């Protein structure tokens, strides 16, 4: 019986968690962390159960409130959405476990507000992924975004300006998306994705359709931080508090990337428009320019932020190449990037908490923080794309797709991106391992942070080992749904 | 005939221009609100039908074609809630920015933040 509820279960768990944390946590701040981790952990279990269920029994649909689609709002659990929900919920669980100490230090007795907002944000991300309704996606985009703005601003100081910039650009992105949905609704009279997908072929020649597709895609590209619309991303990631950056860098842009893939390949399918071409070029430009900018940064967090711009380029490139292998590779890269980027931001946070400065060359972990440094190394290997880490396999599939579609420029961009990643990650890890510690006795972070870091590092290696099985069972069927 | 659409497009452009052209963050926020309001206007214009009446069902036979489409109104109620929440968070951020740096002019603010970053932490 509970199987029928699987599509909405992760969402309901995190939302209920947010409510409980905000009510109980204000009275007793100590219960906020255990409650939040329990809620998001339960959501992760439900999301993983959703993947297993989809692999075994196929797509599951849930009509919210008993209103049948296309009138009511539908929540859909298919191979793609179940996979993305599991990625978001699992990475969010690891970052919230690791957040315990830094959040307690930063927020003191108001720490419950942080966990409540984080859970609301995760609810928003899960909602974007689960929803089968165009307008409902807008609502969840904004639920996630408003919580994210507040979380980024919570550091005070320079983060306030970064949060305002993020807010203005994010709102423009969401408004563009809403305008696009309005045009498509005026054209087809439906908001349900499956219904819309069935009606699109009849109207795909209309100028209104072109406008709708354009606004929807530009809006989602802003939310995703796709080059050249990534203006909000570096400042927000640099100035936000550590646990917030780890959470947002891990999952926020991925939920928007998912929405972009869903619209382009499963709902609107604008075959007559040069959308794949635009995504391919934007992806290639993002990979190279993001990588070059990352190389030029002195602040480690800003370097990781530009590295995110570069890695999101790989995901967009996969969407643009438009073969089953390319799409599946891009989905795998979503998972890899979520895991490794959350891990790297936690490493920087741990180094700063131990007294280091957040500069690439001066992290000074030395040999005093072996666990943190080892996790940084694993994530760096994955970022560069070396086996056996997960990052190698997603880049390999993307490379294969670029060769298959005979795009020499895409092949070059993927390889240059990896070289750039090797260069900037080398500076980063070299500083961690070789630089002498500039201060007395830094040590590994508290157990909660180590558990989070080790989980993410182990996941990086596990993804590498299990990537073939993951591709066959989940990702290739998910990509096949697009063709 | 299609004047309301042109008004919506004009407001969209005005909002975007205000966000890009002004250095003052409050004015950017005002531009953002105009931009969002234009989209609400657009949705409402879509729902309007010549010669139709308000979508309130009265006893007796119902002819759907005689009513305006109520769905965009319901959607825009939600969008207005989203807009209010966004503006609330934005205003809260602006208040804290002004309290800390004493200005909302973008370039002055950037200078003061940069100056603060150069100083050693207290």
DSSP-derived pairing of the beta strands A60-63 and A74-77: antiparallel
Residue A136 to chain B, least CA–CA distance (Å): 9
What's the pLDDT at B121? Answer: 46
Distance CA A63, CA A131 (A): 10
Which residues in A307-396 belong to E strands, given as ranges? none
Is the pLDDT higher at A293 or at A101? A293
Of the residues B74, B78, B82, the best mutation for testing chain A's interface (the one with the most A CB atoms within 10 Å of its CB) is B82
Residue A147 to chain B, least CA–CA distance (Å): 9
**Could you report the per-residue pLDDT of B69-104, keeping only the tens digit for each?**
888 888 999 999 999 999 999 999 999 999 988 888
Mean pLDDT of B10-27: 92
Angle between helices A275-295 and A207-224 (to 10 degrees): 20
Mean pLDDT of A333-347: 90
**Could you report the per-residue pLDDT of A163-182, keeping only the tens digit for each?**
999 999 999 999 999 999 99
Q: Report ipTM for this prediction.
A: 0.92
Mean pLDDT of B7-17: 92
In this structure, what CATH number is given to the domain that contains residue B99?
1.10.287.3510
Is the pLDDT score of A346 beyond 60?
yes
User: Which DSSP helix (H) or strand (E) runs through A60?
Assistant: strand A60-63
Q: Where are the alpha helices (DSSP H) in A190-274?
A: 193-203, 207-224, 233-239, 242-247, 253-261
Mean pLDDT of A389-393: 86
The single-letter DSSP state of residue A67 is P
* Containing structural domain, residue B17: 3-50+65-118
Q: Would you call A135 and B75 a contact, using CB atoms and an 8 Å cutoff?
A: yes
Q: Closest residue of B to A134, CA-based?
A: B75
CB proximity list for A439: less than 8 A, separation 6 or greater: A355, A356, A364
Q: Across-strand partners of A133?
A: A192
Taking the Cβ of residue A165 and every Cβ of chain B, the question of whether any pair is shorter than 8 Å is answered with no
Residue B78 lies in a domain: yes
pLDDT band at A464 (very low <50, low <70, confident <90, very high): confident
Pick from B35, B109, B116: which is nearest to A172 by CB?
B35
**Could you report the per-residue pLDDT of A427-437, keeping only the tens digit for each?**
877 776 665 55
User: In this complex, how many residue pairs, one in chain A and one in chain B, have their CB atoms less than 8 Å apart?
Assistant: 78
User: Which DSSP helix (H) or strand (E) runs through B118?
Assistant: helix B106-118
Pick from B43, B79, B93: which is nearest to A163 by CB?
B93
Residue B59 lies in a domain: no
Q: Would you call A186 and B97 a contact, using CB atoms and an 8 Å cutoff?
A: no
What's the pLDDT at B13? Answer: 93
Exposed/middle/buried for B60, CB within 10 Å: 0-12, 13-18, 19+?
A: exposed
Distance CA B104, CA B110 (A): 10
Q: Which residues of A touch B99 (CB under 8 A)?
A: none
Of the residues A128, A149, A153, A175, the best mutation for testing chain B's interface (the one with the most B CB atoms within 10 Å of its CB) is A175
Angle between helices A324-353 and A390-404 (to 10 degrees): 150
Residue B60 lies in a domain: no
Are B61 and B87 contacting, i.e. CB atoms less than 8 angstroms apart?
A: no
Which residues in A71-151 belong to E strands, given as ranges? 74-77
What's the pLDDT at A423? Answer: 87
**Could you report the per-residue pLDDT of A446-463, keeping only the tens digit for each?**
888 888 888 888 888 888
Q: Which two tokens stand for residue B65?
A: 């074609």
| Rounded alpha-carbon distances, angstroms, from residue B115 to A301, A359, B111 | 19, 18, 6
Are A335 and A395 contacting, i.e. CB atoms less than 8 angstroms apart?
A: no
Q: Closest residue of A to B32, CA-based?
A: A168
Q: Would you call A146 and B89 a contact, using CB atoms and an 8 Å cutoff?
A: yes
Is the pLDDT score of B122 beyond 50?
no
Is the pLDDT score of A221 beyond 60?
yes
Residue A386 to chain B, least CA–CA distance (Å): 37
pLDDT band at A363 (very low <50, low <70, confident <90, very high): low
Q: Which residue has the tokens 């020499």?
A: A408
pLDDT band at A46 (very low <50, low <70, confident <90, very high): very high
Residue B57 lies in a domain: no
Residue A155 to chain B, least CA–CA distance (Å): 11
pLDDT band at A312 (very low <50, low <70, confident <90, very high): very high
Q: Which residues of B touch A219 (CB under 8 A)?
A: none
Total domains, chain B? 1
Q: Which of A216, A222, A219 is nearest to A200 (CA)?
A: A216
Residue A112 to chain B, least CA–CA distance (Å): 18
């Amino acid at each position: 019986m509970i199987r029928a509820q699987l599509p909405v279960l992760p969402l309901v768990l995190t939302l209920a968690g947010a409510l409980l944390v905000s009510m109980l946590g204000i009275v007793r701040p100590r219960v906020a962390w255990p409650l939040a981790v329990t809620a998001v952990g339960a959501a992760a279990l439900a999301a993983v159960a959703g993947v297993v269920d989809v692999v075994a029994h196929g797509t599951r649909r849930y009509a919210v409130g008993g209103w049948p689609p296309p009138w009511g709002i539908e929540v859909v659990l298919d191979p793609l959405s179940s996979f993305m929900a599991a990625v978001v919920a699992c990475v969010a669980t690891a970052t919230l476990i690791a957040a315990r100490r830094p959040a307690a230090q930063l927020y003191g007795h108001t720490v419950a507000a942080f966990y409540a907002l984080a859970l609301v944000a995760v609810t928003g991300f899960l909602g974007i992924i689960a929803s089968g309704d165009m307008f409902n996606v807008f609502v969840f985009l904004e639920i996630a975004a408003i919580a994210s703005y507040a979380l980024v601003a919570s550091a005070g100081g320079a983060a306030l300006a970064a949060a305002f910039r993020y807010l203005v650009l994010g709102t423009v992105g969401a408004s563009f998306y809403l305008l696009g949905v309005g045009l498509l609704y005026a054209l087809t009279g439906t908001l349900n994705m499956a219904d819309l997908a069935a009606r699109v072929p009849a109207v795909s020649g209309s100028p209104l359709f072109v406008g709708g597709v354009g606004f929807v895609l530009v809006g989602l590209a802003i939310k995703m931080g796709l080059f050249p619309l990534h203006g909000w991303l570096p400042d927000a990631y640099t100035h936000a508090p550590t646990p917030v950056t780890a959470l947002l860098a891990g999952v926020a842009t991925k939920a928007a990337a998912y929405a972009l893939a869903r619209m382009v390949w499963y709902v609107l399918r604008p075959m007559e428009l040069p959308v794949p071409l635009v995504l391919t070029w934007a992806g290639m430009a993002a990979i190279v320019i993001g990588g070059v900018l990352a190389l030029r940064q002195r602040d480690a967090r800003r370097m990781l932020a530009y590295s995110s711009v570069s890695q999101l380029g790989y995901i967009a490139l996969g969407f643009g190449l438009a073969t089953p292998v390319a799409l599946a590779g891009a989905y795998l890269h979503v998972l890899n990037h979520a895991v490794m980027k959350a891990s790297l931001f936690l490493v920087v946070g741990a180094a700063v908490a131990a007294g280091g400065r957040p500069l690439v060359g001066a992290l000074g972990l030395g040999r005093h923080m072996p666990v943190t440094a080892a996790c940084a190394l694993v994530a760096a290997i994955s970022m560069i794309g070396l086996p056996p880490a997960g990052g190698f396999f997603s880049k390999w599939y993307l490379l294969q797709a670029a060769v298959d579609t005979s795009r020499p420029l895409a092949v070059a961009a993927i390889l240059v991106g990896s070289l750039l990643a090797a260069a900037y990650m080398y500076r980063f890890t070299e500083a961690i391992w070789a630089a002498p510690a500039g201060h007395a006795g830094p040590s590994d972070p508290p157990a909660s942070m180590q558990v989070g870091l080790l989980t993410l590092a182990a996941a990086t290696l596990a993804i590498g080992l299990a990537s073939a099985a993951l591709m066959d069972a989940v990702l290739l069927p998910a990509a096949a749904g697009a063709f | 005939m299609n004047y309301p659409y042109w008004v919506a497009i004009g407001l969209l452009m005005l909002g975007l221009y205000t966000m890009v052209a002004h250095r003052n963050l409050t004015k950017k926020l005002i531009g953002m609100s105009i931009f969002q309001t234009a989209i609400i206007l657009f949705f409402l214009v879509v729902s309007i039908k010549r010669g139709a009446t308000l979508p309130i069902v009265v006893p007796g036979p119902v002819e759907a074609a005689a009513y305006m489409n109520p769905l965009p109104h319901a959607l825009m109620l939600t969008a207005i809630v989203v807009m209010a929440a966004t503006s609330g968070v934005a205003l809260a951020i602006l208040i804290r920015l002004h309290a800390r740096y004493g200005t909302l002019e973008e370039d002055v603010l950037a200078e003061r933040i940069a100056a603060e970053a150069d100083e050693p932490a207290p």
